[in-house]
Structure 1
Amino acid sequence: MSKGLTITGVFLAESANYGESLGNVATLKKITRGKGDQYTYISRQAIRYNIVEQLGEPLSSLNAEGSGTKQVIQFDQNATIDKYPEVDLFGYMKTVKGDNALTRSAKVRLSNAISLETYKGDTDFLTNMGLAKRLRENGNEKAMNSIAQSEIHRSFYRYTVTVDLDEIGIDKNVDIELPNEEKSRRVKKLLETIQYLYRDIRGRRENLQPLFVIGGVYDRKNPLFENVVDVQQNKVDVEKIEGVLTEEIKENTFVGIVKGAFENTAEVQEVLNGQKVPQVFESLKQKVAEYYEGN
C-alpha cells in the first residue's frame, strides 16, 4: 500500500539565516503577512544543506556545465542513487550540452522554517574594536574601528518534512532500485539527523532539535500538520491541531514534547497523548522499518 511519512517540528533558534546585506547592515531573511507583521525564516535550501552535511553519507560528485559566467554547478552524470543517498533523497537535475535534462524530483520535501513570533526590528551593534586596539598598540595609530549592524531575532520556528516512502531508492531514469533494507536504513538515518539537527552560523551553533514534534506514516502523502502547528504565548495550540485529527489520522500519529519548553506540556500530554521526543522518533523509525519489511 502507498505510504508517506510527514513530521512537523518546532525548535527554538536565533538569527539562523541571513539574506543580502544592505550597506553595513546584515539582514535576516523575512516574509511579511497580515497587517505588515514580519516573520524571519530559515530557507528550505539552508535546512537541506545542514541535513546533507550531517547525514554522515558520501557527498555526491559534482561538475560545472557551460562556460564563463554561465557555468552551472550540478550533480555529475555518474552520481547515481545507489552511490549517493543525497541524490536519492533530494533529487537531481543533470544536463549535457545538446541533450535534454535528466531530472528526478525530490522524494524528501522540506518547507521553510518560519518563525512563530514576529520580528520587532532588534539589531546588534558590532565593531572590531579589540583587533583595532591591538593594531594601534603595535604601532599602527591610524587603525580605525569597523562598524556594522546585524539584525537579530530569537523565536520558535516551525518546519515540515514529507517523505514519499514508495519512491525512496528507485530511479526509473537509469533503472535502479535498491533493496528494501537500504531504503529503510536511509529514511531512518534521515530521521536521526533531523532529531539532532544543528546549524552553524556566524560563530554560533544553533540547536535545531525539535522541542515539539508531530507526525506519522500515513496513506496520504500530505504535509498534514504544516499549517496547524502553532505556538501562542508560549503554548502549543492544541485546539488547532485537533481540528485536523480524524480517527484515521489520530491512530497513526505520534506527538512529542520536551517537558517545560512550553507552558501547556500537561495539556499536550493529556489531549494529544504527548510523549518524550526521542520516543516519537523511535516510533517513526519502527513504522518505517515495518513498511519496508512488508513490501
Structure 2
Amino acid sequence: MIFLAESANYGESLGNVASLKKITRGKGEQYTYISRQALRYNIVEQLGEPLASLSAEGSGAKQVIQFDQHATIDKYPEVDLFGYMKTVKGDNALTRSAKVRLSNAISLETYKGDTDFLTNMGLAKRLRENGNEKAMNSIAQSEIHRSFYRYTITADLDEIGIDHNGEITLPNEERSRRVQKLLDTIQYLYRDIRGRRENLQPLFVVGGVYERKNPLFENVVDVKQNKIDVDKIEGVLTDKIRNETLVGVVKDAFENTAEINQVLDGKKIPQVFEELKQKVADYYEGN
C-alpha cells in the first residue's frame, strides 16, 4: 500500500531538535519511516474492539508490562491478530506469534534535511503582558518530511481465531468478521501526531487472498517521478497470481493512473476493499 503523509513518526530528540525516524540506503540517501509498532498502535486504537487487559510482572526496574493471563483471543481480537507473550514467575512463557504482520512504512522519497523552526512566542508574549516581564521565548526545531510511504500487511487466515495454547477455536463467522473489520480500519487509517491528524488512507493498493503466505509485493511497489512503477509489479505476476490480485488507485494521485488501470486492471480503492472482504468471507465459508 502507498499513502501520502508528513512527519508522522519521531524518534529520540537531539538537544532541541526533534528527529524523525530514518534509515540510510545506497550512497547515503536517508528515508524516513513510520515504525510497524506505530502502525500497530493506530490500528488497535481504531479497530473499535475491547482492549486486552494488562498486568505488570516483576518488580522495580525489572517490571514488565504485558497482557495478563485472562487476555484470551476469544475475548480480545487484539491478541488474536497481533499475538502475545505472557510470563508468570516460575513458569514457562506462553507466546502467540502475530497472525497479522506489518512492515515499517518507509518513505519513497529521500529526506532532504528540511526543518521547522518553532517558538512559544504567543504564550510568552501573553505572560509578559500579564506582568511577568522575564518570560522568554523557547526555541526548538523539528525535522519535517512530506512523502509517499509504502508498507505491507499480511494476515494468516488459517491461524486467526485459533489459539493452541488455550485450545480455543472461534467460529468461522467471527474469524471472518475480525479480518473484515481489520480491512475497514486499514482503509480509513489515520495517525495523530504533534497536533496534526495525518491521513494514512491508501492512494494505491495491490493484494489479494493467496495460498502462499508471503508479502508478494513488498519489494516491488515503488514510485518514481510521481508514477507507480508498473513494470516492477508486472515482473512478479504469474498468471495464477494475476488472476487472484486486486489493484486499486485514487484517480490522479499519480501521473500514470491510466496506465495502472489499463495494465493492472486498476479499480477504485473502496471497490478493492469490498472485493477483498468478500474474498475473506468466501474463504471462511469454504473452510
What amino acid sits opposite 2:56 in the alignment? A
1:80 aligns with 2:72: yes
- State the secondary structure of the residue aligned to 2:276: helix
The corresponding residue for 2:46 is 54
The corresponding residue for 1:4 is none
The corresponding residue for 1:254 is 246
Structure 2 residue aligned with 1:154, among 132, 146, 158? 146
Runs of 4+ in 1 over 4 A off after TM superposition: none
Distance 2:122 2:62 in 1: 42
- State the secondary structure of the residue aligned to 2:251: coil
**How far did residue 69 of structure 1 move?**
1.4
Q: What are the equivalent positions in structure 2 for 1:180-195 lying under 5 Å apart?
A: 180-195=172-187
Q: What are the equivalent positions in structure 2 for 1:67-216 lying under 5 Å apart?
A: 67-216=59-208
- State the secondary structure of the residue aligned to 1:145: coil
Distance 1:225 1:286 in 2: 21
Cα distance per residue 1:84-133 (max 9 Å; x no partner): 00000000000000111100000000000000000000000000000000
- State the secondary structure of the residue aligned to 1:165: coil
**How far did residue 75 of structure 1 move?**
0.1
Gaps of at least 5 residues in structure 2 are: none
**How far did residue 213 of structure 1 move?**
0.3
Distance 2:92 2:199 in 1: 41
Structure 2 residue aligned with 1:243, among 226, 235, 239? 235
What amino acid sits opposite 2:63 in the alignment? Q
Greater RCO (CA < 8 Å, at least 6 residues apart): 1
Report how many residues are paired.
287
What amino acid sits opposite 1:89 in the alignment? L
C-alpha RMSD over aligned residues: 0.3
Distance 1:66 1:248 in 2: 51
- Percent identical pairs in the alignment equals 86
**How far did residue 70 of structure 1 move?**
1.1
What amino acid sits opposite 2:191 in the alignment? R
1:294 aligns with 2:286: yes
**How far did residue 184 of structure 1 move?**
0.1
The corresponding residue for 1:219 is 211
Q: What are the equivalent positions in structure 2 for 1:223-234 lying under 5 Å apart?
A: 223-234=215-226
The corresponding residue for 1:3 is none
TM-score w.r.t. length of structure 2? 1.00
TM-score w.r.t. length of structure 1? 0.97
**How far did residue 58 of structure 1 move?**
0.2
The corresponding residue for 1:31 is 23
Distance 1:33 1:64 in 2: 39
